[in-house]
Amino acid sequence: MNRGIKRKSWALGAAVSALIVGIWDHSAHALPQDVKDDSELRFIQIGAKNKEERTTIAKTGASVEAVRSDSVWAFANFKQITKLHDQGFQIIGNYDYKTSRGGHERLFDFPSNDSHFHNYNRMLTEIRNLQSKNPDLISLVSIGKSLEGRDLWAIHFNTSPDSLNQGISNKPGIVYMGNHHAREHVSVEVPLMYAKYLAEHRNDTAISQLLENRDVWIIPMVNPDGAEFDVSAGRYKWWRKNRRDNGDGTFGVDLNRNYSYHWGTEGAENDSSAETYLGPAPFSEPETQAIRDFVKSHINLKVLLSFHTFSELILYPWGYSYDGISKTEDLRAYQKMATTMAKWNHYKPQQSSDLYISTGDTTDWAYGELGIFSFTFELSPSGMEGGGFYPGQGIIDKVFKDNLQPCLYLLNVSGNPYQVLDTGSETNWLPNYVQPGSQF
């Protein structure tokens, strides 16, 4: 570890529109004249009422991005949409993301009206500033390099100079990470603001006690290549995966399908053009390898939180199966933690597979292989109405405030997660401003 610091306008339009209005002649399966490329993705709303239907949708290779009680929003290509249609699913609507927000030309950075978001360099400047202001509390550690060679930066908080130097601590540890998915930029901002918050409030009684007794790691950008690519053209590209050249004209592996636990068994796609492409092997990607090696080498880690967007959900294992966690004590602890955190951010706590089954995600691996209590937060907005992946910079402060208390709570309980099973334990350490239901 180093220390220190797709082309023409919608070609599918005619075919997909025909499907959407229900007049597609699927007996012929012929593509209209203007459809030259069936990998073009559409963002569509599909009727689906329960997790079984959502899993069937995910199995076609469509990537389900938002779940409502009667439908889901998903990315799907022509083949997948046809399959869905053949299986009797109703395609209710579609969203033309090419004419949506973010059309303000600013190459290699966020559109000007979203300039509060951090691209890789601005993120790096921010965390370097933080470190230089707090050299006795923070060190910056590169836990590896992305495929395109960008350092994957971790912000390490520890009050012991030795631990800070060595990057290893005996204190109970927690790791927060963001941006496994490129376009989920709010998932970078929240851990970044949280790091700033911890540094700026290091002398507050509760925060200083927590920092004194814990080992804290924050990795705000797990997928910098994807995040940079997403903002490279002066408009958002709606990119999800990393930037692996798959060698067949397609790019990207879904990092949240590339972890090894039950890798590739269900809810991940073998088709390299798919949004949820699992990669050629578990941990085939440098980004997931770096997370694996980091987590495995820090045996003090008790809790992991991976930020994603969007939908306002608190998810816990399993994602690979509808089966619940079999260790009753763990399940009860997970449920207690999830429902407690939901009191603050008002997100919906649920088992990951209640959303849909998928394999190879971070949290199934960290819990399944290493026993670390691991959560996925699907941050705001709650749906497409709120802007989906691109809600605008105006949302950032609120999302951070909604999630500060859950983050601090997890920091506290990482001392011994099983303690949450003791009655009243969720509030007995908290200062007034972080009591459940209270405002920041």
**Mind telling me the catalytic residues?**
378
Among 223, 256, 258, 345, binds ligand 0X9 (CB under 6 A): 256
CA 401 – CA 380 distance, rounded (Å) = 11
Structural element, H or E, at residue 229 = helix 224-230
CA angle 390, 251, 296 (to 5 degrees): 80
Q: How far is the CB of 15 from ligand 0X9 (least distance, A)?
A: 25
* 355: contact with ligand 0X9 by CB under 6 A: yes
User: SS3 for 260?
Assistant: coil
Written as one string, the DSSP assignment of 353-407 is HHH----S-HHHHHHHHH--EEEEEEES-SSGGGTTT---GGGHHHHHHHHHHHH
Q: Please state the length of the chain.
A: 440
Cβ proximity to ligand 0X9: between 256 and 340 the closer is 256
Nearest to 215 by CA among 178, 163, 263, 270: 163
181 binds Zn ion (CB under 5 A): yes
Contact between 183 and Zn ion per CB under 5 A: no
Stretch of 173-181, 267-275, 397-405, 425-433 contacting Zn ion, by CB under 5 A? 173-181
Task: Report the nearest approach of ligand 0X9 to the CB of residue 114 (Å).
Answer: 19
3-class SS letters over 308-331: EECCCEEEECCCCCCCCCCCHHHH
Binding mask 289-328 for Zn ion (x = CB under 5 A): -------------------x--------------------
Q: Contact region for ligand 0X9 (CB under 6 A) — 114-122, 230-238, 352-360, 392-400?
A: 352-360
If one asks whether residue 257 binds Zn ion (CB under 5 A), the answer comes out as no
Verify binding: residue 262, Zn ion, rule CB under 5 A.
Answer: no
Q: Does residue 358 belong to the site contacting ligand 0X9 (CB under 6 A)?
A: yes
Query: Comparing C-alpha atoms, which of 73, 100, 63, 81 is closest to residue 14?
Result: 81
Nearer to Zn ion (CB atom), residue 177 or residue 333: 177
* Contact call for residues 107 and 204 (beta carbons, < 8 A): no
Contacting residues toward Zn ion, per CB under 5 A: 181, 184, 308
Contacting residues toward ligand 0X9, per CB under 6 A: 65, 181, 184, 256, 308, 315, 319, 352-353, 355-356, 358, 361, 376, 378
